[in-house]
A and B are shown apart, each in its own frame.
Chain A
Amino acid sequence: MLLDPAIRDWVLIPIMIVMVLVGVVRHQVTVLLNGTPKKADLKSARETKALQRCGLLRAHGVHIPEHAFHGRKAFLSEAFEKGTYLKETNTGNKPRGNVMQDPAYVETMMDGMKKNMMNIVPQTVIMGWINFFFSGFVLVKLPFPLTVRFKGMLQRGVETHDMDVSWVSSLSWYFLNLFGLQSVFTLILGSGHAADAMRDMQAMSTMGMGAAAGPNLSPTGQPQDMHKIFLAEKENLDLTEHEWGLENVETRLLVKYGKKPASVLLDQKKAKIAKLAGRQATKEFAAVAAPSAAAANASRKKGRRQV
């Protein structure tokens, strides 16, 4: 089967060029609309950073000496309890106002809507354009076979029963471009560009996970009670036990370079667990905290051995 070269010159290549150009325009318009990113004010930044600091302490607490760890732990616990870092210091149950009147929330909503519009409008326009002008004839042959199921979708408007499915109409060329040009946009616009239709969809589904949705908005977009989060974080911190990362480091070093058998480490660990158990029995622990702390300890030891 032979196709008219005019179709190539006036349909195949123009569609591709138009789609690339529209992608570039979309990127630029999105950049324009978004403007400069808004700076978080001091209080809300402090709120987030306090949480981050607590997370860091829990993750990396093993690298600082025990007294330093306990000092930080006590300080952060107290601060969380009292709500020192809260944006609004009155921690009482204030009545929550209408969400729609909160300017920050409305702004987030508007941003999402703008992005959606930027996504939907160009795609609809191009699809309409292609459907209006270029439907009803075969545009190109795919170099790979497809099953008959695709015939209705890829050859819409071409009423032939016996033609192979790999001959497709202009709309399929459009879809091929839609998916295939993503990487071209990455090349010409740099990564993180706004011409990426697929990433918009992903962003929609995972909105609120990243920093884009703002620190004190839950995934649903509702503002959260930061004091509750702080209290939960404090509880997590309370359960964190300190185990110094440099403990019997000299033995570990010798074992690592094969100067001592690995069983030495195991023996030391067993001895330490026995000692800890004895100390915990004498010490007065809160009934809830003790078992979970011991469990946390045990699991951490397991992790250490794997490393």
Chain B
Amino acid sequence: MSAQINPDDALYVDMFIAKNAQTMNFIRSSYSAVLGLAAGTLGLTNLSGFIFYLLGSTFLSVLIFVLKTKGQSGLYFRKSLDVFTEGVTGGLFSYILFWTLLYGIIHVYD
């Protein structure tokens, strides 16, 4: 039972927040998989691969921030910086998976 109710919470509809987070996760999942494929094909190793991911996901965040939220991400997320952080760690795992897969197939086996 919610004993304390923060009046500021009323500004956001939980359903929409969840939906937005879901959409962000969806975008990030597909994007980081593709990014991983690219990194593996390019044969990036060590730090350069992680920097590639960071740059790539920052680029995606900026795209969403500018094109989709029109610079007002506070309207769509509880914290306006959530655009840059939502789902980044989840995407990292699939990035590593596909990176390793393509790197292995192309650069390790003959």
Contact = CB atoms under 8 A, between A and B. Distances in A.
B7 A300 contact: yes
Contacts of A144: 45-47, 49-50
Nearest to B43: A143
Describe B's contact surface by its main secondary structure.
Answer: helix
B93 A180 contact: yes
A261 B10 CA distance: 28
A180 B46 contact: no
Contacts of B46: 143-145
Interface string B89-109: 011011111111101110011
Contacts of B91: 183
Interface string A212-252: 00000000000000000100110010000000000000000
Contacts of B110: 2, 5
A157 interface: no
A3 B108 contact: yes
B3 A186 contact: no
A145 B49 CA distance: 11
B1 A51 contact: yes
Contact of B7 (A55, A229, A232, A303): A303
B93 A8 contact: no
**Which of B8, B44, B108 gathers the greatest number of chain A CB atoms within 10 Å?**
B108
Contact of A141 (B8, B25, B47, B104): B104
A179 interface: yes
B29 interface: yes
Contacts of B45: 143-144
A180 B50 contact: no
A186 B104 contact: no
Contacts of B8: 303, 307
Contacts of A51: 1
B72 interface: no
Contacts of A186: 25-26, 29
A182 B25 CA distance: 11
Interface in A118-165: 140-145
A183 to B, nearest CB: 3
Contacts of B1: 51, 55, 229, 232-233
Contact of B93 (A60, A142, A179, A307): A179
B44 to A, nearest CB: 7
Closest 10 CB pairs of A and B: A180-B97, A183-B29, A140-B104, A183-B94, A59-B5, A179-B93, A143-B103, A180-B94, A180-B93, A143-B45
6 contacts: A55-B5, A140-B108, A180-B94, A180-B98, A183-B28, A191-B26
Given A59-B7, A140-B104, A143-B100, 9 more contacts: A2-B109, A8-B105, A59-B9, A143-B103, A176-B100, A179-B93, A183-B30, A187-B33, A229-B1
